[in-house]
A and B are shown apart, each in its own frame.
Chain A
């Protein structure tokens, strides 16, 4: 395979982007290590796409510095940056064949036609589209178009490869397959990639690290596991995976282990720097176990809703600490609506979180 990688790191140093009075990205700093895949995750309007476009050079930073490798590219336009991008809409040129699309970047950077075409064929082979070169984009399926877009970005051997919600136009099954392919190619070639998505499951699946953004700032940065198990605040806890956010009381803290009272249940949780007093906890829906009848020492609750989803059942339980959303894998023993249940919490999946003003 003649497609190699020139992976370089990406560094944001206190970068701000304002559109008139609206600040889209506010004093954001992070570093994407060479060869790693980092996801920018967040709700729409959080500034993640603007951040990506600033790496590409499609938007210019209002303040701060952007480095690719050791080079300061802050004022460099897109044309002059060694970065390529896969667009949400694919942005395949509809008047060019697949091979013309893939070799476009090579041709405009001055490579002779034969060499460009050869490299483009390698690129197509890499994404599994050998022999599709003479088709027009309109003659391909959505997944194939997506892969052409990836090949087109890959063949330039960019220092950084950017993905702007690349899977959002695909159906659910295809989405899973293409994201695995993208991850494989990225790891095999050792590419530095920045990936934007609003789908937390997608982010957890493909990323080395995830940067969660909210209101133009970084809410938390970390590995998928860190984000899920130790969310920095209520926003992250709620955004990564589902979480029931409930009030709790820290009774005492000893050796970084807090004894926490949730309703009438008492749990020992990592204190995460919090001290005695009122607090909030995030409870994952899987961490709640239900048992019919009022046996066991759990909290009392009533089943208000239940939805059968094949692989699991989703319940809404009314309890003293509020409504709880519960995912239960025991499909065979469904609990009928309006039954009384006893609610228990497993240690794993309950986290103390700092509350922020951005909490929902």
Chain B
């Protein structure tokens, strides 16, 4: 028998006959279950024993599917029966485990029709555990090996297996929850399908009302979100372009500082900027106080609402637009601009007729990114929104507030998802049609011309004040943690840091008495666990997308990038809806947080992987293959070592994002697993700004340290044109296909 099949057969039996079949409430990894009645206790018994000790006879047939692959003994790989046995075992096993899982829940039969058919059921079953997980994994890989044996993708077991794994994961953790949210939106309070209720909720005045146009009533959340997102998208794109032009096309001195500013929002928890704005412009904020002292302007609450949220989002997302646009602005081939100049176009004409049109896809990209980020943003509207309702916060209040209306949350989530998916789709359509590629892979010489004078003053005038403002805001954040009460008592104190992070020595050694340690520790562990997993699945997906050809690749890519377009609040709600009940019962665990981060941040890993893998000449893989290495060995020995920078980038980014995430997390945290950001939000809601800011500063420092460490270890990333010295170290793609 084939070695890979044997391995997965062993794994399958390990899951079915040895490990506990169901999830263990107190946690698997503390191994208490080993001493507590395993293997006969019905809570901890493996699947095969469940059938006997607890009369769960429906688990017995699984053994049939696990016995089938034994028929492969002595059969060659190209024997049709080889593939068919594996396919039957894989498909059958997966389908059967899924079917029984969804049919029998915590109170017996899940569906009335089944109960009528088979009679009431005494037993109940809980969420699937590690035993079931391994068994399902075995079935999945039987299936993919069966497909490979039938000749798909040159019979490459590793590639087919990877594709199968990614599809299964995306299906379970992205598509399944989204479908759950759609279904639950259609249900009424009693859990019955009620399209009328759905429609009335969908066209609710609170969502679509246009009162603000005529009278003084506030508009619906959907319009608010849309208006905010469009203005933020336009604003960040303009500012981002100004920054990018300053860095690439002027003689501005402090370019490095501008670039450094762009790292800040990545390591800033999303609501921190909102907090700082309150400290500056709120009723007791410094600027407000200053203005009222000096000019007698009454201190107002004008910052709460659209202006504040817009302002905060502009500060938070401009650097993202900058990062997108700097690549595009640098990517415009200097030789095209030089060509225009030799054709007697002046600087102004060159800029408006050549450079700007070539940047168009970048501008669209930046706008849509700002649009999506603004739609999905949760922290800033929560802190600064006031009466300005937006979809993301409305979803939150629909679930945690007094309403506790899951259906309404689901409807709101669908509206939000509709907006972001349309934007996502529009972006793909827009970029898909036109090709503005100017990076040819051939060394481009030449330099970008400077901007025309007038334009460069305009650009300075926009970018520099904004950069200064950003610096002030961050100074505020650091300073705010050290004062007694902002706006009232500005005496310096360490009180907030002590209350959050104090350590005292007791009888049993050190005691972590600070109130923040618990969530801080959890955050670090969860971020630390999810980062390598995110990077791994992201890079595997990138490898499949860049290097392999298979049917349905476009759908595959769309599926993996989908979570990027799904706002965090929607993910949060959908996870609560999907994983609160068996067969996959994860709410209240740390696992659900890890999974949430993996699939929220996966697109970044994919993008990083795609970007750097496209720079590796494909003939490197092919050379390895023709030298007799399997594709798995090729990935391990050739591709991964060459992708080190991308791996590190993906690791750092997913680590940092896991620390700063809030929108999805806030639905998924529990008493045992509280995350730093949700703890801070809790403090903010109690008006304990000092501690919130102190904690945020610590987080920023931790992330800054992590990034610098990695930067030091890997070395700075080199920019394209300067790194191309013509050595043979990195042959670039561009071979002439004959």
Contacts of A89 in B (CB 8 A): 617, 619, 731, 735
- B622 within 8 Å of A by Cβ? yes
Q: Which of A70-107 contact B (CB under 8 A)?
A: 75, 77-79, 81, 83-85, 87-95, 104-105
Contacts of A56 in B (CB 8 A): 622, 626
Q: In the complex, which residue of chain B has the Cβ closest to the Cβ of A138?
A: B729
Known: A57-B626, A88-B735. A142 touches B728 (CB 8 A): yes
- A299 within 8 Å of B by Cβ? no
Bound-complex Cα distance A94 to B617 (A): 11
B738 to A78, Cβ gap below 8 A?
A: no
Contacts of B737 in A (CB 8 A): 44-45, 49
A140 to B628, Cβ gap below 8 A?
A: no
Contacts of B623 in A (CB 8 A): 85, 87, 91-93, 149, 152
- B172 within 8 Å of A by Cβ? no
Contacts of B630 in A (CB 8 A): 79, 108
A83 to B626, Cβ gap below 8 A?
A: yes
Contacts of A42 in B (CB 8 A): 738
B151 to A87, Cβ gap below 8 A?
A: no
Q: Which of B695-738 contact A (CB under 8 A)?
A: 727-731, 735-738
Contacts of B625 in A (CB 8 A): 57-58, 77-79
Bound-complex Cα distance A155 to B627 (A): 10
- A35 within 8 Å of B by Cβ? no
Contact with B620, one of A57, A78, A93, A152 (Cβ below 8 angstroms): A93
Contacts of B637 in A (CB 8 A): 104, 108
- B156 within 8 Å of A by Cβ? yes
Bound-complex Cα distance A95 to B727 (A): 13
B632 CB → nearest A CB, Å: 10
Contacts of B736 in A (CB 8 A): 44, 88, 165, 168
A156 to B628, Cβ gap below 8 A?
A: yes
Q: In the complex, which residue of chain A has the Cβ closest to the Cβ of B155?
A: A77
Contacts of B631 in A (CB 8 A): 79
Bound-complex Cα distance A109 to B629 (A): 7
A92 to B627, Cβ gap below 8 A?
A: no
Q: In the complex, which residue of chain A has the Cβ closest to the Cβ of B727?
A: A138
Contact size class for B?
20 to 34
A215 CB → nearest B CB, Å: 13
Known: A56-B622, A138-B729, A145-B728. A75 touches B628 (CB 8 A): no
A95 to B641, Cβ gap below 8 A?
A: yes
- B638 within 8 Å of A by Cβ? yes
A79 to B629, Cβ gap below 8 A?
A: yes
Contacts of A90 in B (CB 8 A): 728, 731
Bound-complex Cα distance A108 to B738 (A): 30
Bound-complex Cα distance A81 to B620 (A): 17
Contacts of B638 in A (CB 8 A): 93
A179 CB → nearest B CB, Å: 18
- A48 within 8 Å of B by Cβ? yes
Q: Mark B626-653, 1 if CB is under 8 A from A, else 0.
A: 1111110100011001100000000000
Known: A91-B619, A91-B622, A94-B729. A104 touches B154 (CB 8 A): no
Contacts of A49 in B (CB 8 A): 737-738
Contacts of B727 in A (CB 8 A): 138
A223 CB → nearest B CB, Å: 22
Q: Mark A98-136, 1 if CB is under 8 A from B, else 0.
A: 000000110011000000000000000000000000001
Known: A95-B641, A138-B729. A60 touches B628 (CB 8 A): no
Bound-complex Cα distance A47 to B633 (A): 30
Contacts of B629 in A (CB 8 A): 79, 104-105, 108
A87 to B624, Cβ gap below 8 A?
A: no
A94 to B730, Cβ gap below 8 A?
A: yes
Bound-complex Cα distance A77 to B735 (A): 22
Contact with B738, one of A140, A145, A196 (Cβ below 8 angstroms): A196
- A65 within 8 Å of B by Cβ? no
Q: In the complex, which residue of chain B has the Cβ closest to the Cβ of A41?
A: B738
Contact with B154, one of A46, A60, A85 (Cβ below 8 angstroms): A60
Known: A46-B738, A108-B637, A156-B628. A78 touches B731 (CB 8 A): no
Bound-complex Cα distance A78 to B622 (A): 8
- A301 within 8 Å of B by Cβ? no
Known: A91-B731, A138-B729. A152 touches B156 (CB 8 A): no
- A198 within 8 Å of B by Cβ? yes
B619 to A165, Cβ gap below 8 A?
A: no
Bound-complex Cα distance A329 to B641 (A): 56
Q: In the complex, which residue of chain A has the Cβ closest to the Cβ of B725?
A: A138
Contact with B155, one of A43, A75, A165 (Cβ below 8 angstroms): A75
Q: In the complex, which residue of chain A has the Cβ closest to the Cβ of B617?
A: A89
Q: Which of B484-499 contact A (CB under 8 A)?
A: none
Bound-complex Cα distance A152 to B637 (A): 16
Q: In the complex, which residue of chain B has the Cβ closest to the Cβ of A105?
A: B627
B627 to A87, Cβ gap below 8 A?
A: no
- A224 within 8 Å of B by Cβ? no
A152 to B738, Cβ gap below 8 A?
A: no
A91 to B628, Cβ gap below 8 A?
A: no
- A137 within 8 Å of B by Cβ? yes
B127 CB → nearest A CB, Å: 40
Contacts of B641 in A (CB 8 A): 95
Bound-complex Cα distance A168 to B735 (A): 10
Contacts of A105 in B (CB 8 A): 627-629
B84 CB → nearest A CB, Å: 18
B179 CB → nearest A CB, Å: 33
Q: In the complex, which residue of chain B has the Cβ closest to the Cβ of A92?
A: B728
Q: Which of B587-638 contact A (CB under 8 A)?
A: 617, 619-620, 622-631, 633, 637-638
A109 to B628, Cβ gap below 8 A?
A: yes
Bound-complex Cα distance A221 to B558 (A): 47
Q: In the complex, which residue of chain A has the Cβ closest to the Cβ of B628?
A: A109
B626 to A84, Cβ gap below 8 A?
A: yes
Bound-complex Cα distance A45 to B623 (A): 22
Bound-complex Cα distance A124 to B440 (A): 35
Contacts of B155 in A (CB 8 A): 75, 77
A21 CB → nearest B CB, Å: 15
A140 to B728, Cβ gap below 8 A?
A: yes
Contacts of B633 in A (CB 8 A): 108
Contacts of A142 in B (CB 8 A): 728
A88 to B619, Cβ gap below 8 A?
A: yes
Contact with A156, one of B617, B627, B728, B731 (Cβ below 8 angstroms): B627
Contacts of A47 in B (CB 8 A): 738
Bound-complex Cα distance A89 to B623 (A): 10
Q: In the complex, which residue of chain B has the Cβ closest to the Cβ of A86?
A: B623
Contacts of B624 in A (CB 8 A): 93, 104, 108
Bound-complex Cα distance A84 to B624 (A): 9
Contacts of A198 in B (CB 8 A): 738
Q: In the complex, which residue of chain B has the Cβ closest to the Cβ of A144?
A: B728
Bound-complex Cα distance A93 to B736 (A): 20
A94 to B642, Cβ gap below 8 A?
A: yes
Please indicate which of the listed interface residues A47, A85, A89, A104 has the most CB atoms of chain B within 10 Å of its own CB.
Answer: A89
Contacts of A45 in B (CB 8 A): 737-738
Bound-complex Cα distance A108 to B635 (A): 13
Contact with B626, one of A75, A78, A168 (Cβ below 8 angstroms): A78
Contacts of A88 in B (CB 8 A): 619, 735-736
A192 CB → nearest B CB, Å: 15
Q: Which of A186-213 contact B (CB under 8 A)?
A: 196, 198
B728 to A95, Cβ gap below 8 A?
A: no
Contacts of B617 in A (CB 8 A): 89, 91
Bound-complex Cα distance A48 to B736 (A): 12
Interface positions of B (Cβ within 8 A of A): 151, 154-156, 617, 619-620, 622-631, 633, 637-638, 641-642, 727-731, 735-738
Q: List 13 A-B contacts (CB under 8 A).
A: A56-B622, A58-B622, A79-B629, A84-B626, A87-B622, A89-B735, A91-B620, A93-B638, A93-B642, A95-B641, A138-B728, A165-B736, A165-B738
Kindly list 13 other residue pairs between chains A and B, CB separation below 8 angstroms, not including A79-B628, A89-B731, A93-B623: A56-B626, A78-B626, A87-B735, A88-B735, A90-B728, A90-B731, A91-B619, A91-B623, A91-B731, A94-B731, A108-B627, A137-B729, A165-B738
Q: Sort A-B residue pairs by CB-CB distance and give the 10 closest, nearest first.
A: A105-B627, A138-B729, A91-B623, A49-B738, A91-B619, A77-B154, A78-B625, A108-B629, A89-B731, A87-B619
